[in-house]
A and B are shown apart, each in its own frame.
Chain A
Amino acid sequence: MVTHALDAVDLVKTYPAGRKKPPLRALDGLTFSVPEGIVLGLLGPNGAGKSTTVKILTTLSRADSGTARVAGHDVVREQDQVRHAIGFVPQKSSSDPMATGVENLVLSGRIYGLSRVNAVRRATELLERFGLTEFGDRQVKTYSGGMQRKLDVALGLVHRPQVLFLDEPTTGLDPEARADLWNEVGRLSGDEGLTVLLTTHYLEEADRLAGQLAIVDHGKIVAEGTPEALKAELRGDSVHVELVDPDLDGTVRALLSGLAGVGEIVVEGNALRARVDRGATAVPAVLGALEDKAIPVTAVTVSRPSLDDVYLQYTGRSFRAVEEEAA
């Protein structure tokens, strides 16, 4: 039997939405589990319920109903054990800006019961590991965004947790800082057998780090599996057409849906995506149909299903659009 580091069953969480409005259902029967030593990527549009899930699993918040176990402990009845077993990197930066990097890390270590000597040793080790050694004695308010985020992750690791929660660890970071963090997170799960729950807005991040993915939408898991399995589940190929003018009146959509072997058409501005049975035959057919109606095209690409297609399939929104919304 596989031991699960995380087990969430039928989690429901509502927030009051103001007077005379029905409460907002942030989680609506969310269920998933993660085996030990795996990185689970939690993907989903804004407001899907990713942070709410993390807050419940880290004992910060409490579900209205449903149960969850983290590292074998119930998040409500065995709060203390759970808190000891986890590291939590919230969506917002979690270091004290008035304190130095070392002071932040040492305080956290002391809270979890490390002796002063051990806490200082651990702080030095973590600063080294995240490339922050020379900034250790500077106040955090003087750090760049990337440095602060690295310190946040270090803070989550001080007490050597079994399960690490990372809520959007790389949002807003430049590519270099992001690559650094990816390397570290990859190492954590690989060499140290840490279980990681990672929420992210970057498909590339999920593809690269996550051994298992769960797509959340409207407070439910809508798809779950390894990135490969999720992609394999989608039939056929993906065709992407870029039009010169946006398809405002739906002509193009109507035109393409009439073609054999073309389905699941999604239009977003000038961009149009469709799932086709076979890319090789569909592309000429699509281009021919557009040419007949004299609709100008900038580019056509055909690809094997990507995570973006998986995401689109399950949430009805393309990831790009979500990212732009978030920006």
Chain B
Amino acid sequence: MSTAIPGFTTHTRFITGRWLRAQYRQPALIAFTLVQPAIWLLLFGQLFKGVVNIPGFSDSSYIAFLTPGIVMMTALMTSGWSGTTFIADMERGVMDRMLASPVSRGGLMAGQLISNATTTLIQTILVFAIGMAAGARYDGGAAGYLVTIGVSMLVGIGFGSLSNAVALLTRQQEALIGISQFVSLPLTFMSSIMIDPSVAPHWVNVAARFNPVDWAAIAARQALAADPDWSSVLRHSGLLLAFTLFVGWLSTRAFRTYQRSV
């Protein structure tokens, strides 16, 4: 037919629609992914109440310190599963049918990631609600919350696209889950998610400097503070954005590798 082939933006919209619809049909899954952060917040919030008394710990309440970190951790952990949807498509013939169609590869990747990012958005709001219920309070204004939501979505998109790439390269559910857990654990602990850098070992602080999840946690905590250091917020969010765009581009190229192996 003589219709013009739609490009990246249009295809992204269609593919996003597909995944949003699938997600909306399994709302229980989102609730399920919240169990873990809720436990972390409530358990650690209680367990380490005393942490704030350690000299040099900069926040007055540990739960307020912990909540933005747990938000990023949740975004990271959930995005690790992202690629399982690609594996399901490969196990059926859906991926092959799509790749033999004129669909934009970028759109195929972006659509799935955007739909994932809406999950991150909902999770971020809910984790905050849990944190606040447990006593977290923030002095910063609405901008702080917006930055937190923004960076958490970038974490979800960035690591989601890596998960999708691993799915395209390994084509195996077990390998994907193994790799994503192997990666997300050190990313969580080599960061300021749970412990303030001033009391962490030096090597952790060095490693954290290269950790995109830590960039997100720092940006969020800064933005939520009473007197944010906006240049730090900007620098860390900027780094995170660059990271996300780079891995997004890299992951889209993994479609080629997949096509070479079928």
Contact = CB atoms under 8 A, between A and B. Distances in A.
Given A90-B93, A103-B21, A112-B1, A62 B260 contact: yes
B94 A95 contact: yes
Interface string A208-239: 00000000000000000000000000000000
B178 to A, nearest CB: 21
Interface residues on A, range: 35 or more
Interface stretch (B11-19, B50-58, B146-154, B198-206): B11-19
Contact of B99 (A60, A92, A95): A60
B96 A113 contact: no
B5 interface: yes
A88 to B, nearest CB: 4
B94 A112 contact: no
B115 to A, nearest CB: 12
Interface stretch (A79-87, A254-262, A294-302): A79-87
A113 B101 contact: no
Nearest to A156: B97
B22 A99 contact: yes
B1 A94 contact: no
Contacts of A99: 18, 21-22
Nearest to A139: B25
Contacts of B103: 111
A97 B92 contact: yes
B94 A96 contact: yes
B4 interface: yes
A72 B14 CA distance: 30
Nearest to A81: B102
Contact of B101 (A91, A112, A152): A112
B100 A58 contact: yes
Contact of A113 (B3, B17, B260): B3
Nearest to A148: B92
Contact of A83 (B14, B17, B94, B101): B101
B22 A113 contact: no
A92 B93 CA distance: 5
B36 interface: no
Interface in B4-60: 4-6, 11, 14, 17-18, 21-22, 25
Given A55-B262, A90-B96, A110 B21 contact: no
A94 B6 CA distance: 22
A55 B25 CA distance: 33
Contact of A94 (B22, B92, B260): B92
Q: Which of A60, A83, A91 has the most CB of B within 10 A?
A: A60
Contact of A96 (B14, B22, B99): B22
A91 B93 CA distance: 7
A107 interface: yes
Main SS at interface, chain A:
loop
B22 A114 contact: no
A240 interface: no
A50 interface: no
B55 to A, nearest CB: 53
Contacts of A159: 1
Interface string A101-142: 001000110111110000000000000000000000001000
Given A95-B94, A111-B14, A113-B6, A60 B1 contact: no
Contacts of A103: 18, 21
B100 A59 contact: yes
Contact of A160 (B1, B259, B260): B1
Contacts of A88: 96-97, 100-101
Nearest to B14: A110
A139 to B, nearest CB: 8
B25 A98 contact: yes
A61 interface: yes
B169 to A, nearest CB: 14
Interface string B96-128: 111111110000000000000000000000000
A93 interface: yes
Contacts of A98: 21-22, 25
Contacts of A90: 93, 96-97
A97 B91 CA distance: 12
A215 B21 CA distance: 44
Contact of A60 (B89, B94, B262): B262
A89 B81 CA distance: 28
A62 B102 contact: no
A93 B92 contact: yes
B259 A61 contact: yes
Contact of A92 (B11, B17, B22, B92): B92
A113 B1 CA distance: 9
9 contacts: A60-B96, A62-B259, A83-B102, A94-B97, A96-B89, A98-B22, A108-B101, A114-B1, A159-B1
Interface of A: 55, 58-62, 80, 83-84, 86, 88-99, 103, 107-108, 110-114, 139, 152, 155-156, 159-160
10 closest A-B pairs by CB: A90-B93, A94-B93, A113-B3, A92-B93, A94-B97, A58-B100, A98-B22, A88-B100, A83-B102, A60-B100
